[in-house]
Chain A
């Protein structure tokens, strides 16, 4: 192990560090500027340190009100998460066997992932318009979100079931369990850590989704849309404060997801894979 590292290690390491700095630098700037003093503005230097702008996010004022859009995004995210997890587990189960049309469904799912998002937004908008349906965050925007979260959830579940050892289910059936008992008592506990992962991913993707929702959320905006609207007319650090709070919320979800994943993983049987 105490082998001398080649020069390329240090060059690429420096490059990697710059990349991480590029990713996190701007974010940390707005974190700092959220604590700007009351007289401060959108750029450095910091004029004092205060929680003034953070507090301003919670009150109703001329820059708008953010608690309701947050709760709306939260609700929508939870619905999207539930549906994505349920649908992707079902589809993942089906994809363990080849069946006529499985390739078609697979490519349809990939298409949903790579189709330019403006097409999804415009398409759902016109589709609802032509049918005379009302666009709402809980109907059209929900659909738009699912076209984004379901492909990720599905691809992960297919991967999970690829590594799933069918011997557990066979043993369960040999002992006389029904399909539903086998699923509920054997399969589900074994894939639970992955479900947490899929759920966490779906939630954050939905919670932060902007492009596919932008034309189809109806009269009630989700939080990202509200923030986008704010960028054109708000010139105070309240914008950063809101950004900081919503990003911290995303981080909290990721953290909670990772912690639950670890906890479930260590309580699960030592191996649920074929090898």
Chain B
């Protein structure tokens, strides 16, 4: 009895989690793939095996620019998030000596993550709006004569809001890699006469790359599927694949939305695998 129970026990224990992912992740994504070959007749979808949905994506210049625009957001947010997150994580890991302060400052950085994304986006209105603080300041300094409309409802606002929401996803993994670096390595390098920039270039930076990779995966996957920030911060001006999918669902064009989702998923996974190839991530878990 006990002999059968033991191995079976593991499967019973993971069963609920597995079923959740089967029902709400695997089956839904398989359904997306199937439906992407279905037909849409203007008001409903019918089972079929057509490639029209994909053909229309690959032959339309509108789609091309939508995809390019999405990549643009991914690239800009990724570069800026890295540029902000690395110094922040480095400061926390190497310049804060007491563990207590390290924990406190780390918690200070993570608390906004536990609040609503929608509220955090709204909170830019008093700054960027037509009568917002930024415009008031510029008017006051006589740098502009009329309020600049462009701050809110622009690519600038979209990127700013995304950085506000997602930079933390880069900070945490980099911090995690940095604190794990054996301090003896650094002492040894300094004792052997390395300059501090050499220590950074030869030891710290290479050892922090897995953290950079994990953070990059988060940023890429979060921004690739973005539609809320694009919708809210650009006022519907900018486009992204996620937003296009969202609009197609709004007009019930499920097969077309599904085809876009499949392509989005494939591109995202390719990016993730490309990042995974550069470093061995399993060491971090």
A contact set with B: CB distance below 8 Å: 5, 8-9, 12-13, 15-16, 19-20, 22-27, 29-30, 33, 41-44, 83, 86-88, 90-91, 93-95, 97, 99, 101-102, 105, 108-109, 111-112, 114-120, 122-127, 129-130, 143-144, 146-147, 150, 154-155, 158, 201, 204-205, 208, 210-211, 214-215, 224, 227-228, 231, 239-240, 243, 246-247, 250-251, 254
Contact = CB atoms under 8 A, between A and B. Distances in A.
Contact of B91 (A12, A111, A116, A243): A12
Identify whether the interface residues of B are mostly helix, strand, loop, or mixed. Answer: helix
A224 B132 contact: no
B185 to A, nearest CB: 19
Contact of B24 (A8, A120, A130, A215): A120
A105 B16 CA distance: 11
A144 B28 CA distance: 10
Given A26-B124, A125-B249, A208-B114, A42 B265 contact: no
A91 B114 contact: no
B91 A227 contact: no
B91, B105, B228, B264 pick with most chain A CB within 10 angstroms = B91
B225 A30 contact: no
Contacts of A122: 28, 32, 245, 249, 257-258, 261
A214 B246 CA distance: 10
Contact of A108 (B26, B114, B217, B232): B26
Contact of A43 (B14, B131, B221): B131
Closest 7 CB pairs of A and B: A116-B225, A123-B28, A143-B24, A26-B123, A94-B13, A12-B91, A243-B119
Given A27-B123, A44-B126, A122-B28, 17 more contacts: A26-B164, A29-B126, A29-B133, A33-B126, A42-B126, A42-B131, A43-B131, A88-B17, A90-B13, A90-B14, A114-B218, A116-B264, A120-B24, A120-B28, A147-B20, A147-B24, A211-B225
Interface in B172-224: 217-218, 221-222, 224
A124 B24 contact: yes
Identify whether the interface residues of A are mostly helix, strand, loop, or mixed. Answer: helix
Contacts of B232: 228, 231
Interface string B94-110: 01000000000100110
Given A12-B90, A16-B88, A243-B116, A43 B20 contact: no
Contact of A126 (B11, B28, B131): B28
26 contacts: A13-B91, A16-B87, A20-B108, A30-B123, A43-B132, A44-B133, A86-B16, A94-B9, A94-B13, A97-B10, A99-B10, A108-B18, A108-B21, A111-B25, A114-B221, A115-B265, A115-B268, A116-B221, A117-B225, A118-B225, A120-B25, A127-B27, A210-B117, A228-B228, A243-B123, A247-B116
Contacts of A205: 114
Interface of B: 7, 9-11, 13-14, 16-18, 20-21, 23-29, 31-32, 35, 84, 87-88, 90-92, 95, 105, 108-109, 111-112, 114-120, 122-127, 129, 131-133, 136, 164, 167, 217-218, 221-222, 224-225, 227-228, 232, 242, 245-246, 249, 254, 257-258, 261, 264-265, 268, 272, 285
Nearest to B127: A26
Contacts of B254: 126, 129
